Structure 1
Amino acid sequence: MKYLTWFILFIATTALGLQSSGETAKASQRVFRLDGGDVTYVVGINDSGQLQMVYWGKRLPATQEFASPKPVPSASSFDMSSNTTPQEFAGWGEGLYVEPDLKITFPDGNRDLVLKYASHTASKDELDVVMKDISREIYVKVRYHMDPATGIVRRSAEVSNRTGAPIAIEQVASGTYHLPRANNYQLHYVTGRWAGEWDLQAQPIHGGKTVLESRRGTTGSQNNPWVMIDHTTDHDQDQGDVWFATLGWSGSWQIAIEQDAVKGVRITGGPNTFDFSYYLKSGETFQTPYFYGGFSDHGVGGASRLLHRFEVDSLLPHAPHPKLRPVLYNSWEATTFNVNEAGQMALAEKAASIGVERFVMDDGWFGQRNDDHAGLGDWTVNTAKFPHGLKPLIDKVHSLNMDFGLWVEPEMVNPNSDLYRKHPDWVLNFKGRPRTEGRNQLVLNLARKDVHDYVFQVLDKLLNENDIAFLKWDYNRNWSEPGWPAVPIEEQKNVYVDFTRNYYDILRKLREKHPNLEIESCSGGGSRVDLGVLHLTDEVWPSDNTDAYDRLFLQEGFTYAYTPAVMMAWVTESPTWVNHRTLSLDYRFLSAMQGSLGIGADLNKWTAEDFAIAKKMIATYKSIRETVQRGDLYRLMSPREGEQSVTESVSRDGKQVVTFAFLHSSSQLYPFPRIYLRGLDEDATYKLNIVDGKMHEDTPQQATGAYWMHHGADVDLRGDFKAAMFILDRQ
């Protein structure tokens, strides 16, 4: 009762007032509304001073008003109202048993935290609500930003310590999203491992809690920080209500999906609570990562397209007009560590002959890097391999009308390196304990200012001295022994946050100083892909597995959460090192052309016919690149559900439609299932262009959008590992 009395006295002295048209905040109702795209998001202050979810779903008329929210009654003495009320940001107090957004230990041992409304500011697309503990000077600014085009909400929180003494933040989230009470929710997420990332999972949401996480120091491929929730009755890719949430954080993370005692569903996301503590001094503020949430009533396909549009138009560097991904060649499979000036020049000439636009030299160019046992950390050119530095190679690449890219792994060090011999204390370690190596390397502690400064300086020097357009930034192991013995004990766990913040800071400063530089995030494949790193890099490497058939699965899982505009996909050798599976060059190209195309094969082994196929395919890709990278993606048949896979991309202006079809193997004389396209203008006429493969002989050369969507199209695919591609051009 005293908390409620305190709140009533406080609210009597606070003027709420009316806000702008995009948000309502009425003194009598204390309700806040954000509208964007086809989505409405409403929160309010209830009678207990809690920030409570009111509505999140399909956009409602502007005339629709909402009553002030009421706390949900206690389900019992075991589940008090604090657990059943859909609080947007709850401290660990008042008998809270569900996942808290904030847990603090104070110097006197107190751990009770009860947050109540203090003030707010609002504009058309933004809302900040300040919450304060009932007795201590802990303030939390709960922040909302709604993307006007897609309705995707960006949540975050700022925790300010004004107590006059340091505190230990033991758990902190960016916020909690809430879904309406229902009994038939289904959770979608991805799991994986090296060379087997992006494995789609689906399971019913039951009572209790599902925790997806990485404890690895970085994002990790075991889980990805993205979830999607629909109803189990919604079976069509493009129908039904879907909510999704994805975390913009490249460190250890956690998303908890919890069904509470009254069947409400909560999605709480932020830094991982395992081994976590952040020492926050008086006067300091802790900024959480961004936690994005969205809604679509067009199924999981519509939710994916919404995320893709948001990423391209609002998140990527140079948004809303990020550069289309150039066709690149990477030297790794051709040379591994055995790079040298003459060999790279010869590969560059071959790459240029098929239309490649960017030549990337991979590992082996620096220090004593002849294998993976030495050299990491010593970012100087190996003069035995490049006696005149990199300039002659770069000049050669430029003369062939390509730009030049380089592989780096700046956060790592080999014990066999000049850097480690000079600074063995620079790695993550616990004093007096073993230092576990992975791939013969250790992780530099980027949380240290001297390490941060070193990494930035060596990369900045490399870019100043060489005309480098692109860095493939790799990261080939996860953390072990995450100690920081150079700082006081109470601050040592800050490493989980400060490492990632300094990583972002280096990326940001490099981009500011070298504005034409482009960067790829790579971590032995897809182990560091999230909306945090995507804001600072131009593309990502989804997997080291480049088997073109496996890629159909990997790429499908990837595109549930991330746009094909950043999904690098290479054409590599056959048979592949992964499965020793033999696939035709046409098949390998068509698989890779569903993303951002690259070539990673050993061109020294190619025949004249291979070069001719590649030249044709690359020219075709350039004509469809904008549609594939920025258009609307429809997944028409899933490789997880049968022998076939079909994807369709529709350009933003609707003028071009690109369809890829793949057959694993045919049997018993059954034909390939009919393909029913989506997203076309029913009354417009579309002309057919068959790029690869064959269509049924009855297929018209042009037909209406209604015909292609309702009558459908038949591709003639028989045999094992066959593929086809056709284009429709609106007349």
Structure 2
Amino acid sequence: MQVTGSQPLFFLQCAASSYVIGVHPQGTLCHLYWGPKVSADACADFAKLLDIPVRPFSTDIRNSDGARTPLDILPSEYPTANTGDFAPPAIDVEHADGSRGLRLAYESHRIIPGKPPIPGLPSTYAETDDEAATLEILLRDAPSNILVTLRYAVFANRDAIARSAEVKNEGAQPVTLRRALSAAIDFPERPLDMIHLPGAWARERWVERQPLHSGEQWIASRRGASSHQHNPFFALASPETTEEQGEVFGFSFVYSGNHIGGVDVDQYRRPRALAGIHPDGFAWRLETGETFHTPEVVLAHSSQGLGALSRTYHRLYRERLVRGPWRDRERPVLINNWEATYFDFTEDKLAGIASIAAEIGCELFVLDDGWFGRRGAPDSALGDWFVNKDKLPDGLSALVKRINDQGLAFGLWFEPEMVSEKSRLHEQHPDWCLHLPNRPRTQSRFQLVLDFSRAEVVDAIFAQMEAVIASAPIRYIKWDMNRHLTEIGSAALPPGRQGETAHRHILGVYSLLERILARFPEILIEGCSGGGGRFDPGMLHYTPQIWTSDNSDAIARLRIQHGTSLVYPLCTMGAHISAVPNHQVHRATSMRTRGHVALAGIFGFELDLGALNQADRDEAATLTRLAKKLRHLIRHGDHYRLADPFATEDAAWMIALPDASEAIVTHVTTLIHANWHAPRLRLRALDPDATYRNEINSAEQWRGDFLMRVGLPLTHRHDFTSTLWHLKRV
């Protein structure tokens, strides 16, 4: 990181990219460059970019020397509303007199070794001060004394920068933030495609790509969660960009609530990209002396295609976003009882499933929904986190002991953020859910949402969870969240602060997660929200793995896992073998194909193992042994997408250790066409001068250069079939 000149230019230098900011003579902080690495020796050249001529019909301001500064075409680094810039702003402030607008001018800066945390929010981190440096730039609106501090944490050995903002009211009157985004970048005129990950329940994170057009194009969630519908990630890519070549810019928002991200292309065809908390329904009152912190956006750049961008995010998120003892541990192979029993279980039935799971090599048994309160159906007992003695008459500790005695650790399902109307908690505290006065309370799945903006609600749920977790050796929690937020209002907030409810609710979720992890630091938490409805970087800071989708059909998962891998590492993706016909799409695939797809994530089972025939049970045991043998690659390997299931009838991927000593390669065929010659599968990231042996079939050996330039022969040619190769350097 370098700062040059009397009128500062800031050069943020990453491994292979640079990000350059300059201060305009008028005082505005301007974005000058983001792309392949350039030297700070070019400061004089970059300074020339601040000489921006006035264009017809532009708004402008007179400088002290009489020169005119065109405000509507300045490439502002943190654009403001209602002061001459007509493109979407990053910040909008309503003053005590009802007026709106800021004109932020550069005041000072400092560089901090390392990366400080963001109070109350998840974020990436540096373990040592030499891993990163943080630039803080202080901007001030003189009339109101509103201060904005922009933070840029630069990971020097990675092509990633974490951006966030802090807004402080040093004025004499309170103000209200109507918008406070985390990042804005004005690109020069150039053709770009927008890539994002839309979806729905059981169809999460499909890949869409469209050229940018004039005007606004957004991804967003107003659901109170990051959502199945729009993941908080988008990328801007040159039209020629592929997996292996071309320039691409990534925006990944580390937040689990309402979000917005996207681009406005102005009349000069210049794209402005923005990302942050969705402004709809958001209003945050800042009293004198108070500060608001935005979540961070992780910016990543690649000049070598989408694959390199993904690997930048994967390495950063698995090493410096996920934290705690499970960050570096290999994850256990688990069996979850949900699709085996649903609500209909007894202690003996659960112990029987666990017995077979132990025989095939599972390491963790997870008891899903139905163990608590008077829970016998989806319409009751959420919020009553005590053991259902009708189902477990000897209590939870007796069941856990039976499971442990079979050699399995024990895990438990919770849905802490929800409450049922038919519950003891709701009867005692009907105002503890989100609601609006004198209006009906919308339900989804018979559930209401607890108001986690209230500390007493979070305290009560924590006390219940703590008692249950402490009652037995529980090693894992599945943390579910099965509906979105409606009637977002809090009985505990005054009228002038109701717009804070949604964000305060998410802060309450984070605080509960933080307290559980502080009390039980060895516990492994897996996130879930109707499957993949809250698969975001914010949750990964607390839950090292997330259930990727309720749809565990192997063929449907090809697209879901492919899209998820665009930004999220495989070691965060829960991927299980479930029963056939599949419970979501009613398709039947072989145990082997289901297993090969599940091996591209955190491997486990979601079915009644006792219902399997002997051949499938034997295959399940073989796959479990293979999962244990390969999971170090899932944890430490680099991921390469070799065939795109959105573009072809095939899917293929490769996971290779950075030293090229070992790799997994998987190919899946969905539909076969008549009289079709199978192509070869060309690999990546191997040692061209080495020989590799297939550990699945030791008779197969190839040279690295052959595998990368000629490719593996594809021999399976039936619908829904797969092949997995485990390559080791000889």
Distance 1:343 1:191 in 2: 39
- Report the more deviating stretch, 387-396 or 548-557: 387-396
Task: Give, as a single letter, the amino acid of the residue that structure 2 aligns with 1:210.
Answer: Q
Q: Which residue of 1 aligns with 2:231?
A: 224
Is the 8 Å Cα contact of residues 375 and 414 (structure 1) preserved in structure 2? yes
TM superposition shift of 1:546? 0.8
Distance 1:178 1:407 in 2: 45
TM superposition shift of 1:484? 1.5
Task: Give, as a single letter, the amino acid of the residue that structure 2 aligns with 1:300.
Answer: L
Distance 1:394 1:48 in 2: 68
Distance 2:289 2:250 in 1: 35
Distance 2:563 2:78 in 1: 31
Q: Could you give the per-residue CA deviations for residues 39-73 of structure 1, whole angstroms, max 9, x where no partner exists?
A: 22221211121111122112234655454351633
Task: Give, as a single letter, the amino acid of the residue that structure 1 aligns with 2:50.
Answer: K
1:180-579 matched pairs, under 5 angstroms: 180-182=188-190, 184-234=191-241, 236-318=242-324, 321-579=327-585
Indicate whether 1:57 and 2:13 are aligned.
no
Distance 2:500 2:602 in 1: 37
Distance 1:321 1:330 in 2: 22
Is the 8 Å Cα contact of residues 47 and 71 (structure 1) preserved in structure 2? no
TM superposition shift of 1:206? 1.5
Report the secondary structure of 1:420's partner residue. helix
Task: Give, as a single letter, the amino acid of the residue that structure 1 aligns with 2:254.
Answer: G
Distance 2:289 2:469 in 1: 38
TM superposition shift of 1:34? 1.9
Residue number among 67, 82, 89 corresponding to 2:71 in the alignment: 82
Is the 8 Å Cα contact of residues 314 and 320 (structure 1) preserved in structure 2? no
Task: Give, as a single letter, the amino acid of the residue that structure 2 aligns with 1:117.
Answer: Y
Q: Which residue of 1 aligns with 2:120?
A: none
Distance 1:32 1:609 in 2: 64
- Report the more deviating stretch, 523-532 or 602-611: 602-611
- After superposition, the Cα gap between the structure-2 partners of 1:654 and 1:60, relative to the gap in structure 1 and judged at 3 Å, is same
Task: Give, as a single letter, the amino acid of the residue that structure 1 aligns with 2:28.
Answer: Q
Is the 8 Å Cα contact of residues 553 and 585 (structure 2) preserved in structure 1? yes
Q: Which residue of 1 aligns with 2:149?
A: 141
TM superposition shift of 1:319? 8.3
- After superposition, the Cα gap between the structure-2 partners of 1:358 and 1:133, relative to the gap in structure 1 and judged at 3 Å, is same
TM superposition shift of 1:27? 4.0
Distance 1:652 1:614 in 2: 29
Identity of aligned residues (%): 33
Indicate whether 1:43 and 2:25 are aligned.
no
Distance 1:482 1:573 in 2: 38
Q: Could you give the per-residue CA deviations for residues 407-432 of structure 1, whole angstroms, max 9, x where no partner exists?
A: 00011011000100111101111111
TM superposition shift of 1:462? 1.7
TM superposition shift of 1:105? 0.8
Q: Which residue of 2 aligns with 1:18?
A: none
Distance 2:172 2:237 in 1: 46
Task: Give, as a single letter, the amino acid of the residue that structure 2 aligns with 1:219.
Answer: S
Distance 2:483 2:53 in 1: 48
Distance 2:363 2:53 in 1: 63
Is the 8 Å Cα contact of residues 187 and 270 (structure 2) preserved in structure 1? yes
Distance 2:620 2:15 in 1: 41
- Report the more deviating stretch, 664-673 or 652-661: 664-673
5+ residue gaps, structure 1, are 1-22, 692-698
Distance 2:305 2:705 in 1: 21
Distance 2:548 2:72 in 1: 39
Distance 1:58 1:395 in 2: 57
Report the secondary structure of 2:724's partner residue. strand
Q: Which residue of 2 aligns with 1:72?
A: 52
Is the 8 Å Cα contact of residues 312 and 320 (structure 1) preserved in structure 2? no
1:105-184 matched pairs, under 5 angstroms: 105-123=94-112, 125-182=133-190, 184=191
Is the 8 Å Cα contact of residues 693 and 729 (structure 2) preserved in structure 1? yes
TM superposition shift of 1:668? 2.0
TM superposition shift of 1:690? 3.7
Is the 8 Å Cα contact of residues 188 and 201 (structure 1) preserved in structure 2? yes
- After superposition, the Cα gap between the structure-2 partners of 1:74 and 1:446, relative to the gap in structure 1 and judged at 3 Å, is farther
- After superposition, the Cα gap between the structure-2 partners of 1:74 and 1:597, relative to the gap in structure 1 and judged at 3 Å, is farther
Q: Could you give the per-residue CA deviations for residues 589-613 of structure 1, whole angstroms, max 9, x where no partner exists?
A: 1111111111001112112222211
5+ residue gaps, structure 2, are 61-69, 114-132
1:643-662 matched pairs, under 5 angstroms: 643-662=649-668
Alignment length (residue pairs): 700
Report the secondary structure of 1:416's partner residue. coil
- After superposition, the Cα gap between the structure-2 partners of 1:62 and 1:689, relative to the gap in structure 1 and judged at 3 Å, is farther
Is the 8 Å Cα contact of residues 22 and 50 (structure 2) preserved in structure 1? no
- After superposition, the Cα gap between the structure-2 partners of 1:79 and 1:597, relative to the gap in structure 1 and judged at 3 Å, is farther
Distance 2:19 2:377 in 1: 54
Task: Give, as a single letter, the amino acid of the residue that structure 2 aligns with 1:25.
Answer: V
Q: Could you give the per-residue CA deviations for residues 251-276 of structure 1, whole angstroms, max 9, x where no partner exists?
A: 11111312223332222111111122
Task: Give, as a single letter, the amino acid of the residue that structure 2 aligns with 1:179.
Answer: F
TM superposition shift of 1:716? 0.5
Is the 8 Å Cα contact of residues 628 and 651 (structure 1) preserved in structure 2? no
- Report the more deviating stretch, 638-647 or 290-299: 638-647
Distance 2:326 2:315 in 1: 10
Report the secondary structure of 2:670's partner residue. strand
Q: Which residue of 1 aligns with 2:9?
A: 31
- After superposition, the Cα gap between the structure-2 partners of 1:92 and 1:38, relative to the gap in structure 1 and judged at 3 Å, is same
So what's the TM-score if we normalise by structure 2? 0.93
TM superposition shift of 1:652? 2.5
TM superposition shift of 1:180? 3.7
Task: Give, as a single letter, the amino acid of the residue that structure 1 aligns with 2:283.
Answer: S
Is the 8 Å Cα contact of residues 48 and 71 (structure 1) preserved in structure 2? no
Distance 1:384 1:700 in 2: 56
1:672-711 matched pairs, under 5 angstroms: 672-690=678-696, 701-711=700-710
Report the secondary structure of 2:635's partner residue. helix
TM superposition shift of 1:341? 1.5
Indicate whether 1:92 and 2:81 are aligned.
yes
Distance 1:640 1:63 in 2: 44
Report the secondary structure of 2:593's partner residue. helix
- After superposition, the Cα gap between the structure-2 partners of 1:368 and 1:55, relative to the gap in structure 1 and judged at 3 Å, is same
Is the 8 Å Cα contact of residues 150 and 165 (structure 2) preserved in structure 1? yes
Is the 8 Å Cα contact of residues 212 and 254 (structure 1) preserved in structure 2? yes
Report the secondary structure of 1:25's partner residue. strand
Task: Give, as a single letter, the amino acid of the residue that structure 2 aligns with 1:70.
Answer: L
- After superposition, the Cα gap between the structure-2 partners of 1:113 and 1:589, relative to the gap in structure 1 and judged at 3 Å, is same
Q: Could you give the per-residue CA deviations for residues 111-130 of structure 1, whole angstroms, max 9, x where no partner exists?
A: 12110011110146210001
The two structures, once aligned, show a CA RMSD in angstroms of 1.7
- After superposition, the Cα gap between the structure-2 partners of 1:71 and 1:326, relative to the gap in structure 1 and judged at 3 Å, is farther
Report the secondary structure of 1:469's partner residue. strand
So what's the TM-score if we normalise by structure 1? 0.93
Distance 2:3 2:155 in 1: 19
Report the secondary structure of 2:566's partner residue. helix
Distance 1:598 1:268 in 2: 38
